[in-house]
Structure 1
Amino acid sequence: MALRAARWGWSRAGWQRLALVLLWLGHGAWVILGSKPGRHWTNVADVVSRPSQGLASRWAAWRTARRDAGRTLAETRAENVRLSAELAQLKTQAAQEAPRLAEADEAVRLLGLKRQIPLELKSARVIFSTRPATFGGLILDRGLDLGLLPDQGVIVPEGIVGRLWSVNATQSKVLPADAPNASVGVMLMRSRATGVLQGLGSGRALIRYVSNQEVVQVGEAVLTSGLDRVFSRGLLVGYVAEVAQGDLELRVIVNLAAPLDRVNTVLLLPPQPPLEVQPPFVPVDQKPQKKKGTP
């Protein structure tokens, strides 16, 4: 039995050596770690667990960022839908307000023209246009109810439109200045030569009875002469587009200034207006004469 215990177990000297080694190890650990070894174990645990903590922190940050991004995307889409609805509403309002604004602008322009011409002018609206036809014209919404009469001059801020051709109880028809059967007494602004404007259609007209001796330049303004007693002198008709020599007279083509295809509101001159309602035009190249004795 004694041999079996010695073979499978330790002797008393062995156990003493083990106890001594453990004592020395414990003393060495106490000397190395100090009086508070728990702090060092905590540091060691922190170092060991730091990678896993960083990984967990990054995972949590990624999930938070993804959640915030999803929420931001949803909010952005909702904001886009709201802004699109507001934009569509504003476009609809702008489309509804466009006719009113156009009428307001037209009224302001006509008021400015009324202030420039010291005559009793009446206004009317164009309700229909038959201009594509050869002898087409403009239909106004006023007639005898406004005291209108045939051959009254029709104008807009850009220039003359034509004259009243026929008048009934509540409507009137305007013969445009570019109609083949229309005629207007005109004069050239620079040369002061007079003639008769006859329509050619499509916003163009021909000045007849201008002598070959006259000097007419392309781009020169054409004004009403007042001799037809439909328009007073000095109203803009258009601008010279072409000049060519003829057998007895110049062939002067004029582009009318008034947009006859886009007229909405017009002003009507009184019947047989006065010949002159504005100061006479002074040529651009004419300089005022100096009085004697002035430097």
Structure 2
Amino acid sequence: MPVRAAKWGWSRTGWQRLLIALLWLGHGAWALLGPNPGRHWKTAADVVSRPSQGLASRWHAWRVARWESARNLAETRAENARLTAELAQLKTLAAQEAPRQVEAEEAVRLMGLKRQIPLDLKAARVIFSTRPAAFGGLILDRGQDLGLVPDQGVLVPEGIVGRLWSVGPTQSKILPADAPNASVAVMLMRSRATGVLQGLGSGRATIRYISNQEVVQVGEAVLTSGLDRVFPRGLLVGYVAEVTQGDLELRVVVNLSAPLDRASLVLLLPSQPPLEVQPPFVAPEQKPQRKRGTP
């Protein structure tokens, strides 16, 4: 007798078997997971979501770092712009204050020179220079208003500059010592031989009337002799640069020590100063006497 295949999935027996299998599976899952299966599901979910969480965390950290980098870059650029502006402002101020600082330093040096020479010295400022032109000179901002007269000697801490050539009501012109028509009575520091300094231009001059019998060395200092009654004896004029033998006299070329092209403040000697200036006597300080019985 042939047996027909029953439709197991739709029969009552099939449903019973399926129900029994599900019960066994549920019981096995309950036995495996225990009384608190939620934590296992949470652990499983954590394990499954951990890679995506790590990726999301790294993405967030990258975005934060990028934002911080962009903000730091913007702040750095702003700081650089501010520092650049401050540096430009400081450079401008330094450029504006540089002439004043140089003039202040020059004034301090002139005050030191004024203390060394016990004469009535007057100060003036060089406001213009015509030295590049032929027979050019230096223009001062003071004239007859300061009591100046022609032929007053002019000097700076480095040495003599020249003499006053013309004096107006409020301005004066200096004839520099290197001018072709300038002359200064000088002497050599070592041999004390005297002569007349005549300008050659460009900060150089020559000494006339030095005998061939004199021994003059290159680098020897040249001082004023005081015989012209314009400069007192002993002021520095310059240093010997060249010495050559002539027919009757030596040809002595001198480099003037005063910076004629850069002088900004000068001192003016009184008219017809003494031949030689002696330093003033300064009495030593006396210590106060202590009374007996006092420490």
Determine if the TM-score, normalized by the shorter chain, exceeds 0.5.
yes
Q: Distance in 2 between matches of 1:15 and 1:190?
A: 139
Other structure's SS at 1:78 match: helix
Q: Distance in 2 between matches of 1:115 and 1:45?
A: 97
User: Which residue does the alignment assign to 1:287?
Assistant: none
Q: Distance in 2 between matches of 1:82 and 1:133?
A: 47
Matches within 5 A, 1:259-278: 259-278=259-278
Shift of 1:255: 0.6
Contact 2:197 2:206 in 1 (8 A): yes
Q: Does 1:118 align with 2:118?
A: yes
Q: Distance in 1 between matches of 2:46 and 2:160?
A: 96
Shift of 1:226: 1.2
Matches within 5 A, 1:84-103: 84-103=84-103
- CA RMSD in angstroms comes to 2.2
Q: Distance in 1 between matches of 2:4 and 2:76?
A: 85
Shift of 1:96: 2.7
Matches within 5 A, 1:240-259: 240-259=240-259
User: Which residue does the alignment assign to 1:293?
Assistant: none
Q: Which is further off, 61-70 or 255-264?
A: 61-70
* Count of aligned pairs between the two proteins: 277
> Tell me, which stretches of 5 or more residues in structure 2 are unaligned?
280-295
Other structure's SS at 2:266 match: strand
Other structure's SS at 2:87 match: helix
TM-score under structure 1 length normalisation: 0.86
Other structure's SS at 1:160 match: strand
Q: Does 1:150 align with 2:150?
A: yes
Q: Distance in 2 between matches of 1:126 and 1:241?
A: 28
Distance of aligned partners of 1:4 and 1:275 in 2 relative to their CA distance in 1, 3 Å threshold:
farther
Q: Distance in 2 between matches of 1:110 and 1:228?
A: 24
User: Which residue does the alignment assign to 2:67?
Assistant: 67
Contact 1:206 1:254 in 2 (8 A): yes
Q: Distance in 1 between matches of 2:31 and 2:191?
A: 123
Contact 1:231 1:269 in 2 (8 A): yes
Shift of 1:225: 1.2
Q: Distance in 1 between matches of 2:93 and 2:245?
A: 55
User: Which residue does the alignment assign to 2:292?
Assistant: none
Residue by residue, what CA displacement relative to the aligned partner does 1:135-165 show, whole Å, maximum 9, x if unpaired?
1111212222211111111001111000111
Other structure's SS at 1:6 match: coil
Other structure's SS at 1:48 match: helix
Other structure's SS at 1:128 match: strand
Contact 2:8 2:14 in 1 (8 A): no
Residue by residue, what CA displacement relative to the aligned partner does 1:93-124 show, whole Å, maximum 9, x if unpaired?
22332332222222111111101111110111
User: Which residue does the alignment assign to 1:56?
Assistant: 56
Q: Does 1:198 align with 2:198?
A: yes
Contact 1:148 1:167 in 2 (8 A): yes
Shift of 1:25: 3.3
Report the AA paired with residue 70 of structure 1: A
User: Which residue does the alignment assign to 1:37?
Assistant: 37
Q: Distance in 2 between matches of 1:260 and 1:118?
A: 24
Q: Which is further off, 229-238 or 60-69?
A: 60-69
Q: Distance in 1 between matches of 2:11 and 2:139?
A: 135
User: Which residue does the alignment assign to 1:237?
Assistant: 237
Other structure's SS at 2:111 match: helix
Q: Which is further off, 187-196 or 18-27?
A: 18-27
Contact 1:138 1:173 in 2 (8 A): yes
Contact 1:234 1:278 in 2 (8 A): no
Q: Which is further off, 166-175 or 261-270?
A: 166-175
Residue by residue, what CA displacement relative to the aligned partner does 1:61-114 show, whole Å, maximum 9, x if unpaired?
222222222222222222223223222322332233233222222211111110
